Structure formats: C-alpha cells, structure tokens
Amino acid sequence: MASANVIELAQTGKRDELRELERKYQARWAEERLFEIAAPPPEDLAGLSKAEIQEKFPKWFGNFPFPYTNGSLHLGHAFTISKIEFAAGFNRMVGKRVLFPHGFHCTGMPIKAASDKIIREIEMFGEDFEKFVPDAEPAPATTSDAPAKAADKAKKGKVAAKATGLQYQFQIMESMGVPRNEIKKFADPYFWLKYYPPICIEDNKLFGSRIDWRRSFITTDANPYYDSFVRWQMKRLYKLGKIKFGERYTVYSPKDGQPCMDHDRSEGEALGPTEYTGIKMEVAQWSPEAAKAIEGKVGGRKVYFVAATLRPETMYGQTNCFVGTAIKYGVFAINDKEAYVCTHRAVRNMAFQGITAARGQIDQLLEVDGTALVGTKIKAPFSVNSEVYVLPMENVLPGKGTGVVTCVPSDSPDDFQTITDLKKKPEFYKIDPSWVALEPVPVLSTPTYGEMSAPALVKQLKIQSQKDTKQLAEAKELAYKEGFYNGTMSIGEFKGLPVQEAKPRVRERLIEAGLAFAYAEPEGLIVSRSSDECVIALMDQWYLDYGEPSWRAQAEKLVAKMETYNSETRNAFEGVLAWLNKWACARTYGLGSKLPWDPQFLVESLSDSTIYMSYYTVSHLLHSKLDGSEPGPLGVTADQMTDEVWEYVLNNGPWPEPAPLPKEKADAMRHEFEYFYPFDVRSSGKDLIPNHLTFCVYNHAALFPEEKWPLSMRTNGHLMVNGQKMSKSKGNSMTMRQCIEKFGADATRLCLADAGDGIEDANFDEKTANANILRLHTLIGWCDEIIQSKPNLRQGAKNYHDIVFEHEVNNLIAKTKTFYADMQYKDALKYGFYELQSARDWYREVTADVSMHADLAEWWIRTATLLAAPIAPHFSEHVWSSILKEPKSVQLAQWPALSAPVDQTIFDSAEYMRGTIKTMRDAELSLLKKMNKGKQGQATYDPKKPRAVRIYVTTAFPEWQDQCVQTVKEAYSAEHDKVDDQKVRELLTARGSIKDKRAMPFVQAFKKRISQFGAQTAFNRSVPFSEVKVLHEILPYLKRTLTLQDAEVLLVDDAKKKDLSAITKTLIETAEPGNPAFEYYNV
C-alpha cells in the first residue's frame, strides 16, 4: 500500500507554546460563557414584525449532521464542522446572535450490534478477554466508525479489519484507546451513550468551537425529552398520511421463517437489500448443446435468461449477454407459462418477492452448465440490436446477481474488455466470431468520457484483459459515477434527459412492457444464527411515502427556494428527488424511540434525525444533562411534553386544556423557536444528499409552514490527507484530537480552511499545517514587537506609500468579508490572511528608509487580528487581549470598518508601481544571466559596475499605435463583441499601415486586451494617475534595492531635445503611457 507521506514534527517548541495559549483562551471563553446565546427578551420584540425583528435583532443559526456516538470524531468530521464554525465566528462579528449547537446521534443498529459482539466475545474469552489467544479462529469483524448509513457500516468494518488485522470488537475498541479492563462496560449499549459524547465535547473545545453546549442532547428513549419530540414528529407524519403500511424489502431467513435483523446474524451485520431490475431476455434459439439438454423439459413454457442490473437505462446498448462457464444454472418454472434461467441463489430470493407462483417454493426443471448456454440467441429488451448471442465471461460471480449479465460495451468497462478479448481469441474461447460482430452502441454522453465511457476508461487505465480486475473495478466505479451524476441520455424515449431522471423512467417502461421486474437481494452474504443464508423478502412494513407526487412537489419547492451555494449540490438534490421512493422508517432491533402506534418497532436512524434542528432551539430549557436525566431551567418534566404541547411550541397549535404545564413555560420555548427558526445553513458531506439531507427537506416540507423551511444547505466533498484518501493502512487516518495534538488548533483550522470549499474532495496537507505553526508563532512575535516599538515608528502626515497601503488593506477587508459571507473560506484565508501579510511585507520593505507609519502599523495588526478571528480565534485572542490590551474578548469584537472609501485610481497606481519595479529588476537579472553564459551581446552597460537609471515617461502613444487602435475600433462590433479581422486588414491596407511590421502583432495584442478587460477599458487608453509623481515616490526604493548611484525620471518630449545616441532614441520610442522606458548606464 502506498504511503501517504505522513510527516513527523522534528521540533515541537513553537507548537507547544501555541497550544498553551489555546488552552488558556479556551478556558476564558468557557468561563465567560461567550457562546451561550438566547433570543432577545419578548418585551424587546413586542409589536415588531418578523422582518423588523431580523433587522433590529439579526440572528444566524447554523448546524451540521450530528455525529454517531460509537467513536471519536475524525478529521473528516472536523472539516464539516469547520464550515459552520468559521461561519459562526464571522456572523458574530457582523452583529448577529449566533446559534451553533451540537447533538449526538445514538439511534440505530451499529452500537447495539457492537455491544452484542462484545457480549459474545466475553462469553468466548472472559470478562477481560484474558482467554484470547492470537491467531485463534477468526470471527466476523465489526467496527466502531460512524456510518453514513447502515450499508456503509459493514463495508467499513471489513476494510478496517483487513487494514489493521483486527478480528474482534474488543481489539478494535483497544485500538481506539479504550483500556481493556473498561471494554466489558460496552456490552451495555447505553454505556456508549455516556462514554463518547463527553469525548466529542472535549475534542470540540480543544478545537475552539463556538458551540452552545447547553443545547446538546443524545437521541433514543434514553433521553425522555427527545423521545417525546420524536414521538410527536412520527404521530404528526402518520396523521398527515405520510407514513403508510405495506410491503417493503427486508432481510429474511427462510429457515427461521422470520426477518433476520442484525442481532440475529452470525455474518453480515448491518447489510441490507440491494434493489435491481430483473431483465427478461427471451430465448430465440438455443445453442445445440443447450437444446439437447432442455428439449422436452420445460413444459411448453417460454424461457427467459434473467439478468439483474443496476443500470436499466443502458439496455438500449446491449450487444450480447454473458454467463459464467464455471457456474451451474437452473431452469426454474416461474409459473405455467414462463421459466427463468439463473442461479439457484437468485431464484431463492425471487421466491420470497412474489415473483414465483407460490411463496417460498422453487420449481427447478433442470440444471445446465454455463458452457452449454454459450451461443444461445436471445431477445434483448429495448436494445438497438433486437437479438444477441450469449457469450462466456470469466468474471461472472455466482454470489452476486443472477449469474446472467447483460453486455453494454459502450458503458461497462468489464463488458468492453471481455468483448475485446473474445474478438482477439474466438478459437480459444470456443465461440463463433460472428457472435461478437456487433459494435458498441452510444447510450449516454458524459462531459469527461463522451459517448463511449468504457473504451475511454479502458484506454486511460491501460487495461489489457479481463484479468486486470483491480483496474476494471476502478474503471467501473468511474464510469458509473460519471454516467449517473453527469450523464445525458443519447438514445431512446428519454434522449436528452439527465441519466438520474431517465433511469427510473426506463425501468418503469421495461416493467410496464413485461420485459423486466423488480428484484432485490442482500448486498452481501448474510447468515443467520441458525446458519441459514438469508434472502430479501417482501414483507409488510411501516414506511415514509417519499416520492408521493404532492409531497415531492412540496420538497421540490423547498429546494428551489433554498440556497445551495453551488449548482452541483442543487443538481444532486433535484436528481435525488426525481428517484427517491418509499423508505422503511421502522426496525425491530437497535436503539431508538418506539413507534407510538406500533411499539414493537423502533423509529430507524435516518427517520428520527430529520427535524431535530428545531429541537436545538428549546433543548437548553428542557434539560440540563445530555440524557435528560435532570430538568432544565424551566423545571418541565418529560411527561409534560405531550404531543399537544409540542404542537403548540413548534407549530402554532392551540393551547391544550387541561394543560400539563403552565402556559408561560411553553411560551418561553415557543419564543426561542420562533426567533431562531428556520436555520440559516446546514453543512454536510455530499454523500448525505441521497438520504439524510433529502429526508430533512421532505420532513420540513410536511411538518412546517414555508416560513420555517431551511434557508440553505451546503455540501462538501470528502477530506483527503496529503492528497490521499484517509486510511489506517496508509497511516494518514487521524482523529480530530490527534490532529490538534500534532499541529495545534489554529494551525489545523487554517489548514482546513485552505483545504477547499467545493463539492469535490478537499485535501488536508500536513506540510501546510506544519508551516502554519511557524507562521502563527512568527506573526505573534512581530505584532508584539511592533506594538512595543510603536513610539519609535514614524508619526505625522501620511505619505504616498502609506495611502497605497491603507487602500490595499481596506480592499482586502471588503474582499474577505464577501468571501466569508459566501462561505468561501479558502479565498477568505487567501485575502484576509496571506495577501494581507503580503501587503504588509511590501509596505514594510518600501518604507524601510523612513519606517512604517505608527498608526497604520497598529491598524494593520488590529485588522489582521479581526480578519483571522473566524478561522484562527486563539491567535486572534492572544494578539487582541495580550498584545493590543483590549479588555473584552475578540469573540465580542465587530468586523472592521473601512477607514476610507476604496479608490481604484490608487490601486492602478500601485499596480503600475510594482509592475515597473518588476520589469526593471527582471531586465537586469536577464542581462546578468546572459553575461554568465557569455551571451550578453552588445550590452550598453555592465550591471556589475556602479550604475544609474533614467526612466522615460510619455503622455501620448506613438502615432502608428493610435492609427492601429482607431482601425480596430472601426472594425469592432459592439453588438457581437467581436473584431472583424478582414475589415482590419482592409483598413490598414487603405491607410498604408499594413507594411509596418509592428502593426499586426500590436493589433493581435490589442484584441487580446479587449477579450481580457472588455472593449470600453481597452479603447480608453488614458492613465488615471500621474506616472511622474508615482515614479518619484519609488526612486528612493529603487536606488536602495537595486544599489543604484542615481535614478531620474524624464518626460520623453524633454529627453528628445537633448543630444541622444541612436540607441537611446530607439529606446525612448518604446515608451507608452502606463509603460515607461528605462535605460541603465554606468557611472
């Protein structure tokens, strides 16, 4: 496995100093309770409209998906948290009441499954696992990594087990830092709920998070207050007709005759159903060998090869069908008229899904080898090629799908490579070349791979044969992701539609035509305690009716109104809303709240976490401990929070009579909710759009009026470390605390801000984090030194460089504010931290002979402190409190106002100043390089000897240039924003300028300027400042930094009156307004 280039810190002194400061200020913030926020008193809001309240008492409520409490927070959590954390810091500075809460999700199966695992391991190895012998019989692995959904859980567990070599849950707990003698306590699932939340809270405090911890809570019936909230939510959805009862797919043990939930499994914990489309391909003509085996055994039934596909939209491009030559297939009677060719495992699943004639019964007519089926001609539903041949494939898996695979070589890398191999060696594979004669059919188009994604990826990844399974797996993932998220249909009824929209519609058409059916199977091997391989069965279940047309329309309206920060996020929401369908909302195993009207079920984990953001607004009033074991300041008990009270508080319901609690207590809760809701932003990983975030949208649309709908949701990609996916095997997997301990909080936060803000994957670069330690430490030292030496700095009136510096800082203040407001932290950091320091560095250098202005130097320190505060609050607090001696915390400081309006003319002059200096410096460096190589030619001076410079300035462009500009202007069409090149040539020819070798290159350069800056700016060739004045200001700097004996500025018109050499005359002619000529000479 490749190394992720994890760095080790050679010296930690500076980091340790910064961490000591961080702990100091974290203690101060906690003591001063700076992040505890409440709505304004009711009397302050009396008589004000909602708009007036927000104008007079603006608020900001940001949140992120609460983490699952079966482990410590990792760096990916910190990345998502940072988006809200930075925004919280900024919005405090612009005068808003900022609410940033943080809860803990405990609902679902993983904790219970892990605790059951520990119980079994205690039975095997003793209370403290003292009987465990390494290399003993392996057990199925579980993990304590927090899941996005149950399906991901088991995959993570298997990966973790392979990567670390850990086989047992107690080993995994040890690897996470839990002492072995403590692990037995985790056999109680509710112990997890007490153990990990305090660790998470401490991690956030070490990070410097501006969280109101009074509002924190845990979920499940372990917290009776939250339990009452969830019960109200579910009852309300039920009354609205959003929760229904009917058949849903579930894991089922035929042997036990009942659903097989996680606790009933010896293998496959947390796995669920995968839903396919079963494609029916009618046999048109059997191969000779198959015909011999099947003749007279199917009872006159039509026989279909059945393939399970996740991509029904690609069926238009079928060119063949594959079977595994090492697989035994059955021909199974489905009913009196049809028989299916597939594996026994597949038909066993079908038997419990209403596909076969009798539930649970399998009628196998015969068994046949895969090799015998090769050469059979079948009908290909919806394909451009109505009939195709069955071919052999090496990579068909008997344990996945039906054992029959459709062949779409345009979009499946596996299919394309197999067809390529078969075409190369038909004799070896014992096939007729004519069976593979059909060319790939374009089905969908993607921006990255065009209409033939499979051939493109096979070429890109240099795949040579079917045996390149690793590369083929990578190619498959790339093709499928690109096709689903960015693909557009190129063929068929839904041509032109995005693949995300077309997929369910094509599936529906196939099923309507009787050419396909819904089919599901376990996403991996699931074995019950009774050693039965489980199937997926259609069972009666409670489900949320997502996708129901009127509810979907509401959800689409919410998304349309909601800010998503980028088009990719919006497109992803719209895509999910197009296909999301019924969702089972109840389970019988795990932790959670009981379904109120059917208490044998628990509300599942993605259904009790959809509107809990509203609970944050009142939780601090209800309970003073995470688990609700102690009432909050209102003294309300959990049993007093009836459905009617929740309805009154959160939905303007009528006040119940008789009332279970005094009305003024409920009014206090309603006041908090009405002020803070809706939330302003929810930040999350993009992987939660297909479930949690869209469920949040649906539930808010159903349960709240439009004025309480979420205002925005932003999503980010996954966080890589050192350019690679986090992995324990690579050594670059870090918890939030490990990263803080390694680099310190602010260095970590700066690196997270720099990692990226888009929906694409971001990167945490440890080298950047390490460099941040030195940068912060150095900056603190400089600020302290400047404040101490302020009396020695220049006082009085401001000079030209002071004015430029002040304008540049003001411009950076304005830019940074815009980026913070847009949650673009990489750019906020760029302008408000790095470029701000670059501006200071230039100012310090250019005023070295007279020193910086005392007031401006201190103003810069104040500005830098405030602009960095949202991202690096500990650094800012230290400079603010200890160096600038401000009595109140920087957490209470306001965003800096501009000291003066930004003047573009001054920026232009500064740009001119720096550009001229660079041009002059580069010219001399170029000459020195040539001299070192002996290629200086006829140099007019020796840069190694004492020298001086004359700078020539002109206020007018050369006449030939003016003629060229006039020509371009006449040939320019404002309507089309285009220059007519033919007309330019005609005009130049007519005016006799076409023969001037300078003309056409100048015209081309000028056209480029038009495209770069716009026609109006390009044609306006005046310079809005005095070049002579600016150049006089920088002469001292030039003389000092270039070690010149003298420097002077001359107007071209004045210079021409002097007796000049031919070389100087030619040089002067090159001067243009905004682009002076210069001449070095020895003295």
Contacts of 746 (CB under 8 A, 6+ apart): 18, 22, 208, 772, 776, 871, 872, 873, 874, 875
Q: Could you give the CA distance from residue 282 to residue 334 in angstroms, rounded to a whole number?
A: 14
Q: What is the pLDDT of residue 140?
A: 42
Residue 586 CA to residue 234 CA, distance in Å, equals 11
The mean pLDDT of 273-302, rounded to a whole number, is 95
Lowest mean pLDDT among 133-142, 626-635, 679-688, 821-830: 133-142
**287 three-state secondary structure:** coil
Q: Is the pLDDT of residue 341 over 90?
A: yes
Answer whether 542's CB lies under 8 Å from 244's CB.
yes
| Cβ neighbour number for residue 548 with a 10 Å cutoff | 17
Q: Name which of 66-80, 415-429, 872-886, 1002-1016 the model is least confident about.
A: 1002-1016
Split at pLDDT 50, 70, 90, the class of 10 is confident
Residue 3's pLDDT is: 52
CB 452, CB 439: distance < 8 Å: no
What DSSP character marks residue 871?
T
Q: Give the model confidence (pLDDT) of 237-259 as tens digits.
A: 999 999 999 888 888 889 888 77
* 294 confidence band (pLDDT: 50, 70, 90): very high
Give the Cα separation of 152 and 161 in Å (integer).
14
How many C-beta neighbours within 10 Å does residue 531 have?
A: 10
Predicted pLDDT at 154? 32
What tens digit of pLDDT does each residue of 486-514 get?
999 999 999 999 999 999 999 999 999 99
Structure tokens at 922: 């580069």
Instruction: Label residue 935 by pLDDT band (50, 70, 90).
Output: low
Assess contact for 546 and 362: CB atoms under 8 A: no
Q: Note the pLDDT of residue 148.
A: 32
192-229 tens-digit pLDDT: 999 999 999 999 999 999 999 999 999 999 999 999 99
Give the tens place of pLDDT for each residue, 74-99. Answer: 999 999 999 999 999 999 999 999 99
Helix (H, G, I), strand (E, B) or coil at 379: strand
> Comparing C-alpha atoms, which of 562, 569, 582 is closest to residue 709?
562
**Which residues lie closer than 8 Å to 232 by C-beta, 6 or more apart?**
643, 646, 647
- The residues near 22 (Cβ < 8 Å, ≥ 6 apart) are 206, 208, 744, 745, 746, 874
Amino acid identity, position 535: V
**So what's the pLDDT on residue 158?**
33
For residue 678, say if its preceding peptide bond is cis, omega within 30 degrees of 0: yes
Q: Which residues contact 530 (CB under 8 A, 6 or more apart)?
A: 253, 255, 256
The secondary element (H helix, E strand) that includes residue 964 is helix 959-971
Angle at 1040 between CA 1039 and CA 1044, to 5 degrees: 40
CA distances from 720 to 755, 757, 823 (A): 9, 13, 20
* Beta partners for residue 331, in sequence order: 341, 366
Percent of the chain at pLDDT exceeding 70:
96
Q: What is the pLDDT of residues 116-171, one digit of tens each?
A: 889 999 999 999 999 998 865 444 433 333 333 333 333 333 333 434 457 799 99
Closest residue by Cα to residue 416 from 370, 476, 335: 476
- The single residue listed with the structure tokens 């399906």 is 151
Neighbours of 930 (CB within 10 A): 13
What does the pLDDT read at residue 157? Answer: 36
Burial of 788 (0-12, 13-18, 19+ CB in 10 A): exposed
Closest CA to 873 of 741, 738, 748, 739: 748
Query: pTM of the prediction?
Result: 0.78
pLDDT at 393 over 90: yes
Per-residue pLDDT reduced to its tens digit, 732-759? 789 999 999 999 999 999 999 999 999 8
Beta strands in 695-815 (DSSP E): 713-716, 719-721, 724-725, 762-764
Express as a percent the part of the chain with pLDDT over 90: 73
**3-class secondary-structure state, position 937:** coil
Structural tokens at position 63: 């949140």
Residue 143: its pLDDT value, please? 31
> In the structure, what pLDDT confidence band is assigned to residue 909 with cuts at 50, 70 and 90?
confident
Predicted confidence (pLDDT) at residue 416 exceeds the cutoff of 80: yes
What are the tokens at 513? 């035509």
Please report how the helices 981-990 and 959-971 are oriented relative to each other, as an axis angle in degrees rounded to 10: 140
In the chain, what's the furthest Cα-to-Cα distance?
114
The total of other beta-carbon atoms located within 10 Å of residue 513's CB is 11
Provide the pLDDT for residue 262: 57
Query: Confidence band (pLDDT; 50, 70, 90) for 5?
Result: confident
Q: Residue 180 class from Cβ within 10 Å (0-12 exposed, 13-18 middle, 19+ buried)?
A: middle
Position 937 scores a pLDDT of: 64
**What tokens appear for 95 in the block?**
């005068």
What is residue 250's three-state secondary structure? strand
What value does the mean pLDDT take over residues 326-340?
97
Would strands 404-407 and 328-333 be described as parallel, antiparallel, or unpaired?
Answer: unpaired
Q: Which residues contact 140 (CB under 8 A, 6 or more apart)?
A: 266, 267, 268, 269
